Structure 1
Amino acid sequence: MASDTRSWLTRMDERLAPSMAKDHPNLPVVQEEGCYYYGTDGQTYLDFTSGIAVTNTGHRHPKVVEAIKNGADRFTHGPSGVIMYDSILTLADKLAEIMPGKIDCFFFGNSGTEAVEGALKLAKYVTERPAVISFTGGFHGRTFGAMGVSTSKSKYRKHMQTQMNAYQLPYANPDLSAEENVKELNKELDTLFDHQITPEEVACMIVEPILGEGGYIVPPAAWLQALKDRCEKHEILLIFDEVQTGFGRTGEWFASQKFAVEPDILAAAKGIASGMPLGVTAASKELMQKWPLGAHATTFGGNPIACEAGIATIDVLQEEKLPENAEKVGRYAREELEKLKEKHPTLGTIRGTGLMIGIEIINPQTGAADGGGLMEVLDLALEEGVLFYFCGNKTEVMRMIPPLIVTEEQIDDGLEKLDRALTRFESTS
């Protein structure tokens, strides 16, 4: 097994672009199951990343695997429109039942980025307006349109100047009250509309209802409602990027339901099909009908096997009550992390909702964000047998996003491993 690990790492360096293969931690694995990865080193690793919030039903859930196998017995490819098949229609029916508000019509793509691109194109097409407003710290994808509204890290845009007509405003500040956040938002919008662009030129505002890659910041519901109110006032479409917050992650099907704020357009992916490549741009039928043939298209989007996996994913989430489990176990995890914080001075703010939890790593002497320290903690945690991931502008926030099947016992196991990792880190700092 050790020789396999060395061989894999050598082949990776030779054959894969660094932009693809140099993420953290490059753990060579031979299998995944439930909440676990099995390494080429013979070790078992507790996974608190879910493939970056994708395998909400757990790795290789039997019902999802069976659906993929059965789907492959009938189709491997569409393309939708040239032919039509039941899985894409059944998935659309199931999505219509769980989506917020009036959203009931869908365009399927392959990823979260494509879902966002579709949302932006839909908004611009139906409003015939040129501009977009996004929010500092947001991450919406890597293609030029999505990147043009992403500001979680400047390095993602380096040498990649985009022609997207986008304006950025500050995201909600967790250190301010709900009332103060709403006041600041309206002030920023008034300034923007007075000095840079009129609201009549803005097609849409796009926002993550909970900031993901930008640091797992949970805004007040009143702040999101204020966004909705301003959009309605100026006939601007509101897009919620729920690529990371969707499919039970926050304790509800979608974060918009958690905050009781309904977007006009919703972009979703990641947890939609338990690891199969699938994304969706969603809106009301009334809005979608204004987006005619030729305005947008896809070859691989809505792949029949991916749609079968999406159907099974929704069934599992419903049958096993996984959104409810995310709420219950997530609350338990945050309580246990607050206890751990009393023991470890390097732990800063613990924030999140459901099983979307951010753990800030700080310098105990200064209270400043410690991105370098966080990467050391991640490595030590991996040595102890638990896998976390990072986020935040300074890479200072540890993402804790386990599969929604996770138990309180597995939370205890993972946090005991984190406890040991933090103790080792603090002993050498």
Structure 2
Amino acid sequence: MQTLTEIKLPEIRTELPGPKAKEYLEKDSRLISPSYTRSYPLIAKRGFGAMIEDVDGNVFLDFNAGVAVAALGHAHPEIAEVIHRQALEFTHISGTDYYYPHQTDLAEKLIDITPGDFEKRVHYGNSGAEAMEAALKAAIYSTGRDKFIAFRGAFHGRTFGTLSLTASRASQRRGFGPQALDVTHVPFANPIRFPLERRQGETVGSRVARYIEETIFRTTVPPEDCAAIIVEPVQGEGGYVVPSPDFLLELRRICDEHGIILIVDEVQSGMGRTGKMWAIDHFGVEPDIICMAKAIGGGLPLGVTLTREELMRWHVGAHASTFGGNPVAIVAAMKTIEILEGGLIDHCAAAGEYMLDLLMESRKKHDCIVDVRGLGL
């Protein structure tokens, strides 16, 4: 049998979907929740790097990467090795009951590589939505406030708390009202498609800030009642939108002036994807809370909420997760960070710049291309 590294892509051996895939698709239609948004009828059998083989032996290039989870590709041998080694020791000891060094080892590393030279704490969950739920609870608990500001086009999860923040597709909210949290959505600082009129010389970022201060604070959300502003440094599901350079600096200023917590969602944009470890690093801003997931677990479920130390001074039992910070996921995360720091982040920046240059040239030749945007890959 050929290995995936020996196959020249694409390798299409059957009609698509193939006969075995059709059998699984029929079972799936009867047995699995229809709420999943499948983009293609691919029934995966195995993967290696950027390739996926389906159950009928067809091989594809994977441009999805498990929705930004498989940042280092499928079945990375070094990650597989540490997962196997840890599984032989123990696969689970709940961090809610006992201690194990894996959790503190990863916490020390994350505290070291995240922006801000101040004391920090870490809470472990299993997903991006869980990471954001912990951030919202920490914001309410530490401020005593219960209102939030988020952005149109945002995606932060589909649990009840995070769904209140998410504003990218109506289908994600349909049938699930009323929303659990008091959230006001404002325009994101999209340099290409921006709905607010600007004064002469006014940047998109400063216009959003003026809208928050002159409209939202005066009509909808008293600043003294606002617990947090939640933002993706680069919007993901909202269109992979890179905001104007001053946008996050303006949000930081507003939060500092009113005692509001700045929560940055790096679930999709973090872990080197933009050419820096965190997308927020491009903008010179130190957030109060960072939410991480997806690529951090090396393919395994892991969510992390990292906060300023004073924002996580809650009482014992206030928040916890049975599986959060699972030792197998943590060793995969440690290895993922090690590999990224070995030169892949710089490579991501260079490759992204190269691709943007080519796309910019293509835009000059084709009027149908309205915009080319992105950071890294």
TM-score by length of 2: 0.89
Contact 1:87 1:311 in 2 (8 A): no
Residue 309 in structure 1 maps to residue 332 in structure 2: yes
Count of aligned pairs: 352
How far apart in 2 are the matches of 1:270 and 1:163?
Answer: 24
- 1:79-90 → structure 2 map (5 Å cutoff): 79-90=94-105
Corresponding residue of 2:350 = 328
Corresponding residue of 2:267 = 243
Corresponding residue of 1:215 = 239
Aligned equivalent of 2:188, options 155, 171, 183 = 171
Per-residue deviation at 1:150? 0.8
Instruction: Tell me the secondary structure at the aligned position of residue 174 of structure 1.
Output: coil
Residue 204 to residue 108, structure 1, CA distance change in 2 (3 Å): same
Residue 318 in structure 1 maps to residue 335 in structure 2: no
Corresponding residue of 2:173 = 157
Corresponding residue of 1:118 = 134
How far apart in 2 are the matches of 1:245 and 1:184?
Answer: 24
Per-residue deviation at 1:287? 2.5
The answer to which of 103-112 and 272-281 deviates more is: 103-112
Percent identity (aligned): 39
C-alpha offsets along residues 246-296 of structure 1, whole Å, 9 cap, x if unaligned?
0001111101111111110010101101210000000122332x2221221
Contact 1:67 1:312 in 2 (8 A): yes
Corresponding residue of 1:192 = 216
Per-residue deviation at 1:149? 0.8
C-alpha offsets along residues 158-203 of structure 1, whole Å, 9 cap, x if unaligned?
1111121111111113136994213322331121111122100000
Residue 231 in structure 1 maps to residue 261 in structure 2: no
Contact 2:144 2:227 in 1 (8 A): yes
Aligned equivalent of 2:81, options 66, 79, 88 = 66
Per-residue deviation at 1:15? 1.1
Per-residue deviation at 1:343? 5.2
Per-residue deviation at 1:23? 1.2
Contact 1:266 1:282 in 2 (8 A): yes
How far apart in 2 are the matches of 1:35 and 1:183?
Answer: 40
Q: Letter of the 2:81 partner, please give it.
A: E
- 1:349-428 → structure 2 map (5 Å cutoff): 349-355=371-377
Aligned equivalent of 1:274, options 298, 301, 305 = 298
Contact 1:250 1:326 in 2 (8 A): yes
Per-residue deviation at 1:333? 1.4
Contact 2:127 2:303 in 1 (8 A): yes
Q: Which runs of 5+ in 1 are unaligned?
A: 356-429
Where is the helix percentage greater, Structure 1 or Structure 2? 1
**Backbone CA RMSD of aligned residues:** 1.7
Corresponding residue of 1:139 = 155
Contact 1:209 1:241 in 2 (8 A): yes
How far apart in 1 are the matches of 2:297 and 2:186?
Answer: 32
C-alpha offsets along residues 24-58 of structure 1, whole Å, 9 cap, x if unaligned?
01312211111111123433211222111111122
Q: Which runs of 5+ in 2 are unaligned?
A: 1-13
Q: Letter of the 2:45 partner, please give it.
A: V
Q: Letter of the 1:91 partner, please give it.
A: L
Contact 2:152 2:167 in 1 (8 A): yes
Contact 2:245 2:283 in 1 (8 A): yes
How far apart in 2 are the matches of 1:184 and 1:343?
Answer: 33
Corresponding residue of 2:225 = 201
Corresponding residue of 1:391 = none
Contact 2:96 2:322 in 1 (8 A): no
Contact 1:337 1:350 in 2 (8 A): yes
